[in-house]
């Protein structure tokens, strides 16, 4: 059975830098308030009308393809993780295939909707396809554009100050060499807390889940608006806009408490599967949701500052893109080197969480 190895990596972030100070012009907040709670100093936003989730992914993918020394036509499968696709449907995977100029190859494109855990879920999925022998060269992408869907007002500041735009990509290929391969993966979810971190409108629920699982302090319209046939026009309507329901909802404390418990658990789970311990870990690349979460996890696991890579200060939370961006930067900075044992770990909406243990095989 073959293993899978990362042979190419790349990332791309928009040129527009938005600082904490910039946000104070549109909401009541401060640089100190944001830094203290999240560790974020700035983030990147796309240029509206010129960039999309897919175009960010395209730039990151081109870099990963070049880094791997292959051509786009060599790719035989695309796995695209995002919670912010260009269209509600079709998925971003086929759009990326088209933009890469490989639509004529008719390869499959799979979209992953696992939010902050999306890249870990995508990498795990791709790993299994390679181990099965079905594919040999897979493009795995995490890309997000949050700036087009945030509430830039004091009302939405607890969420809006956190997120940024960006993309990262890797080429995963088959190998017989375990010393440069993915060694173990783990994935989990718990839908009990789905509404704690969610983007509920627009949607087809018609208030069903929101009424059944009431969200404290969240103004919800449970009425279902239907036409004469008894079917709905409640997927998206003016009421959702007028009452500010079309923005993300987050209960920060609930997310924090779950994240700091599940991060160490799932890291240790994958290390155990690989027959390794914390002492074998050279670099942890955690999802960049909140610097305080990552610092808490590092302290819990007794990891030194040189064993955990953080870049949330520069980019904010880019959800599915955060791990591949961080891994790409860590490689570029020489902080991830050939032969290193690297752990990727994520926790996010759903709740979903997962981890990957790999031996870095690139110079």
Is residue 209 scored above 90 in pLDDT? no
Q: Where are the domains of the chain?
A: 3-178, 182-193+251-359, 201-245
Is residue 206 scored above 80 in pLDDT? no
Among residues 9, 8, 5, the alpha carbon closest in space to that of 326 is found at 9
Q: How far apart are CA 174 and CA 355, in angstroms?
A: 20
Catalytic site includes residue 287: yes
Q: Which of 11, 20, 116, 310 is catalytic?
A: 116
The pLDDT-based confidence of 21 (bands split at 50, 70, 90) is: very high
At the top level of CATH, the class of 3-178 is alpha beta
Residue-level pLDDT at 235? 75
What's the pLDDT tens digit per position in 59-70? 999 999 999 999
Q: What is the DSSP string of 16-69?
A: EEEEHHHHTTTSS--HHHHHHHH---EEEE--TTT--HHHHHHHHHHHHHHHHT
Is residue 215 scored above 80 in pLDDT? no
Task: Please give the C-alpha separations between residue 157 and each of 23, 48, 201, in angstroms, as whole numbers.
Answer: 9, 21, 18
What's the pLDDT tens digit per position in 69-79? 999 999 999 99
Residue-level pLDDT at 315? 98
**Average pLDDT, integer, range 223-247:** 71
Do 3-178 and 182-193+251-359 agree at the fold level?
A: yes
Is residue 299 scored above 70 in pLDDT? yes
Helix H or strand E encompassing 218? none
Residue-level pLDDT at 228? 67
Tokens of 257: 């408490």
Residue-level pLDDT at 242? 78
The pLDDT-based confidence of 190 (bands split at 50, 70, 90) is: very high
What contacts 140, CB < 8 A, 6 or more positions away? Answer: 79, 81, 119, 122, 123, 126, 169, 170, 171, 172, 324
Q: Mean of the per-residue pLDDT values for the chain?
A: 93
Is residue 323 scored above 70 in pLDDT? yes
Among residues 134, 85, 175, 93, the alpha carbon closest in space to that of 358 is found at 175
What's the pLDDT tens digit per position in 96-107? 999 999 999 999
Catalytic site includes residue 116: yes
The pLDDT-based confidence of 224 (bands split at 50, 70, 90) is: low
Q: Which CATH superfamily is domain 182-193+251-359 in?
A: Thiolase/Chalcone synthase (3.40.47.10)
- In the block, residue with structure tokens 């074998």: 280
The pLDDT-based confidence of 230 (bands split at 50, 70, 90) is: low
The pLDDT-based confidence of 200 (bands split at 50, 70, 90) is: confident
**Average pLDDT, integer, range 42-63:** 97
Q: Half-sphere exposure of residue 273, counting CA atoms within 13 Å on the CB side?
A: 17
The DSSP code for 270 is H
- In the block, residue with structure tokens 């050279």: 282
Report the range of poorest mean pLDDT among 217-231, 272-286, 298-312: 217-231
Residue-level pLDDT at 3? 95
* Percentage of residues of the chain with pLDDT beyond 90: 81
What's the pLDDT tens digit per position in 110-169? 999 999 999 999 999 999 999 999 999 999 999 999 999 999 999 989 999 999 999 999
Q: Max CA-CA distance within the chain? A: 66
State the pTM of this model. 0.94
Q: At what angle do helices 252-273 and 291-300 cross, to 10 degrees?
A: 40
Q: Which of 20, 249, 287, 310 is catalytic?
A: 287
């Amino acid at each position: 059975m073959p293993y899978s190895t990362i042979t190419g990596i790349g990332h791309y972030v928009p040129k527009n830098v938005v600082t904490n100070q910039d946000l104070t012009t549109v909401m009541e907040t401060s640089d100190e308030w944001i830094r203290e709670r999240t560790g974020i100093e700035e983030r990147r936003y796309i240029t509206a009308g010129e960039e999309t989730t897919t175009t960010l992914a395209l730039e990151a993918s081109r870099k990963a393809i070049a880094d791997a020394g292959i051509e786009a036509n060599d790719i035989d499968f695309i796995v695209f993780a995002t919670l912010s696709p260009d269209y509600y449907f079709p998925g971003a995977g086929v759009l990326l295939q088209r933009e890469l100029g490989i639509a004529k190859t008719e390869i499959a494109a799979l979209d992953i909707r696992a939010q902050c855990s999306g890249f870990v879920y995508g990498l795990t999925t791709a790993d299994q396809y390679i181990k099965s022998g079905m594919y040999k060269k897979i493009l795995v992408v995490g890309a997000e554009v949050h700036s087009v869907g945030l509430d830039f007002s004091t009302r939405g500041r607890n969420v809006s100050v956190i997120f940024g735009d960006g993309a990262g990509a890797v080429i995963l290929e088959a190998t017989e060499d375990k010393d440069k391969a993915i060694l173990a993966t783990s994935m989990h979810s718990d839908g009990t807390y789905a509404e704690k971190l969610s983007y509920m409108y627009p949607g087809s629920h018609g208030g069903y889940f929101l009424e059944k699982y009431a969200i404290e302090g969240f103004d919800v319209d449970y009425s279902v608006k239907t036409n004469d046939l008894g079917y709905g026009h409640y997927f998206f309507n003016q009421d959702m806009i007028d009452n500010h329901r079309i923005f993300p909802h987050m209960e920060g404390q609930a997310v924090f408490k779950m994240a700091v418990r599940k991060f160490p658990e799932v890291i240790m789970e994958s290390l155990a599967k690989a027959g390794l311990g914390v002492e074998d870990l050279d670099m942890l690349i955690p999802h960049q949701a909140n610097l305080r979460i990552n610092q808490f996890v590092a302290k819990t696991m007794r990891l030194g500052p040189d064993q955990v890579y953080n870049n949330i200060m520069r980019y904010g939370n880019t959800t599915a893109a955060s791990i591949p961006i961080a891994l790409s930067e860590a490689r570029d900075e020489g902080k991830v080197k050939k032969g290193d044992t690297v752990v990727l770990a994520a926790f996010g909406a759903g709740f979903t969480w997962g981890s990957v243990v790999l031996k870095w095989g690139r110079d």
